[in-house]
Structure 1
Amino acid sequence: MAESEVISAPPVLSTPAEHIFEDPTPIAVEPAGQFPPRTDDELHAIYEIRRTAREIKEGGWSRIGLQFPDHMLRDAGWVVEALSRALAQENPPSTLKSLEGKGGTETNGPTESTPPRPENAQQPTNERIYILADTSYSACCVDEIAAEHADAQVVVHYGRACLSPTSRLPVIHVFTQQILDLDAAAAAFETQFPDPDAAKVVLMADITYQDHVEPLTSRLHSKGYRHVLRTVVVHNPAGVIPNRRLAAPVEDESSPKLDDDVDLTGYSLFHIAAPPPALLLALHSRFASLHVLPTTPTATTTSLPPRIEDPTAMTAALLRRRFARVLTLASAGVVGILVNTLSVANYLPTIDLLRRRIADAGKKSYTVVVGKLNPAKLANFAEIDGWVVVGCWESGLVEEDAGFYRPVITPFELEVALRPESERLWGLEWWGGIEKMEQLQLQDANQDANEEAKEDEGLEAEVDDGGVEGEESAPPEFDLRTGKLVSHSRPMRVVADGHTKKKTGSQSGGDADASVSARESSALVKTAAAGEVATINGVVSPGADFLRSRRTWQGLGTDFDGDERSTVVEEGRSGVARGYTVGEDGSRT
Structure 2
Amino acid sequence: MKRPHIFVELQKTPPVLSTPEAHIFEDPTPASTAQNTPRPTDDELWEIYEIARTAREVRDGGYKRVALQFPDGMLRDSPRVFEALEEELKRSPATVAPAGKVRQEDELVTSFTHLSTSSARTEQARENGIEKGRDGTAERVRFYILADTSYGSCCVDEIAAEHVEADVVVHYGRSCLSPTARLPVIYVFTSHPLDIPDAVQAFESTFSSKEEKVVLMADITYNTHIPTLHTSLLSAGYTRLLTPPIIHDPSSQIPNRELDTSIDLKEYSLFHISDPPQALLLTLSSRVREMFIYPTSSPAPSSTSTQKTIQANTAMTLRRRYALLTRLSTCPVFGILINTLSVANYLSTITSIRSLITRSGKKSYTFVVGKVNAAKIANFSEIGGWVVVGCWESSLIEGSEFFRPVITPFELGLCLQGDGERVWDGSWRGDFGGVEEMVGASSSKVGVDEEEMKGAERGDGVEDEDSEEESAPPEFDLRTGRYVSHSRPMRTTSSLTSPPASQGPGQSGGSTEASKVLTRRAKGDLVTVNGTVSPGAEYLRNQRTWQGLGSDFAETEASQEIEEGRSGVARGYTVGGDGERR
1:99 corresponds to which letter in structure 2? K
Aligned CA distance change for structure 1 residues 186 and 582 (closer, same or farther; 3 Å): farther
Contact between 2:318 and 2:426, CA under 8 Å: does it hold in 1?
Answer: no
Q: Residue in 1 aligned with 2:263?
A: 262
Could you say what the CA RMSD is over the residues aligned between the two structures, in angstroms?
A: 3.9
1:553 corresponds to which letter in structure 2? W
Q: Residue in 2 aligned with 1:379?
A: 378
Correspondence list, 1:207-226, <5 A = 207-226=220-239
Task: For 2:489 and 2:257, locate their aligned partners in 1 and report how far apart those are by CA, in whole Å.
Answer: 43
Q: 1:138 Cα shift?
A: 0.9
Q: Residue in 1 aligned with 2:289?
A: 288
Task: For 1:205 and 1:325, locate their aligned partners in 2 and report how far apart those are by CA, in whole Å.
Answer: 31
Task: For 1:433 and 1:517, locate their aligned partners in 2 and report how far apart those are by CA, in whole Å.
Answer: 47
Aligned CA distance change for structure 1 residues 529 and 473 (closer, same or farther; 3 Å): closer
Task: For 1:225 and 1:160, locate their aligned partners in 2 and report how far apart those are by CA, in whole Å.
Answer: 29
Task: For 2:45 and 2:475, locate their aligned partners in 1 and report how far apart those are by CA, in whole Å.
Answer: 60
Aligned CA distance change for structure 1 residues 456 and 273 (closer, same or farther; 3 Å): same
Contact between 1:265 and 1:288, CA under 8 Å: does it hold in 2?
Answer: yes
Task: For 2:202 and 2:188, locate their aligned partners in 1 and report how far apart those are by CA, in whole Å.
Answer: 28
1:559 corresponds to which letter in structure 2? D
Choose between structure 1 and 2: higher helix proportion. Answer: 2
1:488 aligns with 2:483: no
Work out which of the residue numbers 195, 218, 225 in structure 1 matches 2:209.
Answer: 195
Aligned CA distance change for structure 1 residues 424 and 97 (closer, same or farther; 3 Å): closer
Deviations along 1:181-213, whole A, 9 cap, x unmatched?
00000000000011112x111010001000011
Contact between 1:57 and 1:90, CA under 8 Å: does it hold in 2?
Answer: no
1:134 aligns with 2:148: yes
Task: For 1:389 and 1:144, locate their aligned partners in 2 and report how far apart those are by CA, in whole Å.
Answer: 19
1:203 match: secondary structure: strand
Task: For 1:45 and 1:65, locate their aligned partners in 2 and report how far apart those are by CA, in whole Å.
Answer: 20
1:423 match: secondary structure: coil
Deviations along 1:430-472, whole A, 9 cap, x unmatched?
111324435556x469x57x96687444333489999771321
Aligned CA distance change for structure 1 residues 463 and 79 (closer, same or farther; 3 Å): farther
1:213 corresponds to which letter in structure 2? I
Q: Residue in 2 aligned with 1:458?
A: 453
Q: Residue in 1 aligned with 2:64?
A: 62
Aligned CA distance change for structure 1 residues 19 and 317 (closer, same or farther; 3 Å): farther
Q: Residue in 2 aligned with 1:171?
A: 185
Contact between 1:245 and 1:260, CA under 8 Å: does it hold in 2?
Answer: no
Work out which of the residue numbers 68, 74, 99 in structure 1 matches 2:132.
Answer: 99
2:343 match: secondary structure: coil
Task: For 1:87 and 1:278, locate their aligned partners in 2 and report how far apart those are by CA, in whole Å.
Answer: 39
Aligned CA distance change for structure 1 residues 319 and 565 (closer, same or farther; 3 Å): same
1:367 match: secondary structure: strand
Work out which of the residue numbers 564, 575, 580 in structure 1 matches 2:558.
Answer: 564
Q: 1:296 Cα shift?
A: 1.7
Contact between 2:59 and 2:94, CA under 8 Å: does it hold in 1?
Answer: no
Task: For 1:573 and 1:547, locate their aligned partners in 2 and report how far apart those are by CA, in whole Å.
Answer: 40
Q: 1:88 Cα shift?
A: 1.4
Contact between 2:496 and 2:517, CA under 8 Å: does it hold in 1?
Answer: no
Task: For 1:11 and 1:185, locate their aligned partners in 2 and report how far apart those are by CA, in whole Å.
Answer: 46
2:420 match: secondary structure: helix
2:279 match: secondary structure: helix
1:494 match: secondary structure: helix
Aligned CA distance change for structure 1 residues 529 and 331 (closer, same or farther; 3 Å): closer
Correspondence list, 1:4-23, <5 A = none
Structure 2 spans left out of the alignment, 5+ residues:
1-17, 98-128, 576-582
Task: For 2:529 and 2:230, locate their aligned partners in 1 and report how far apart those are by CA, in whole Å.
Answer: 62
Q: Residue in 2 aligned with 1:540?
A: 533
Correspondence list, 1:35-434, <5 A = 35-91=37-93, 99-101=132-134, 105-106=137-138, 125-197=139-211, 199-246=212-259, 259-299=260-300, 302-312=303-313, 315-401=314-400, 403-434=401-432
1:168 match: secondary structure: coil
1:381 corresponds to which letter in structure 2? F
2:58 match: secondary structure: helix
Contact between 2:497 and 2:513, CA under 8 Å: does it hold in 1?
Answer: no
Q: 1:90 Cα shift?
A: 2.5
Q: Residue in 2 aligned with 1:501?
A: 495
1:559 match: secondary structure: helix
1:45 corresponds to which letter in structure 2? E
1:501 match: secondary structure: helix
Q: Residue in 2 aligned with 1:587?
A: none
Task: For 2:30 and 2:361, locate their aligned partners in 1 and report how far apart those are by CA, in whole Å.
Answer: 36
Contact between 1:66 and 1:130, CA under 8 Å: does it hold in 2?
Answer: yes
Work out which of the residue numbers 546, 549, 557 in structure 2 matches 1:553.
Answer: 546
Task: For 2:518 and 2:55, locate their aligned partners in 1 and report how far apart those are by CA, in whole Å.
Answer: 75
Task: For 1:573 and 1:350, locate their aligned partners in 2 and report how far apart those are by CA, in whole Å.
Answer: 56
Q: 1:231 Cα shift?
A: 2.2
Task: For 2:252 and 2:487, locate their aligned partners in 1 and report how far apart those are by CA, in whole Å.
Answer: 35
Task: For 1:343 and 1:104, locate their aligned partners in 2 and report how far apart those are by CA, in whole Å.
Answer: 37
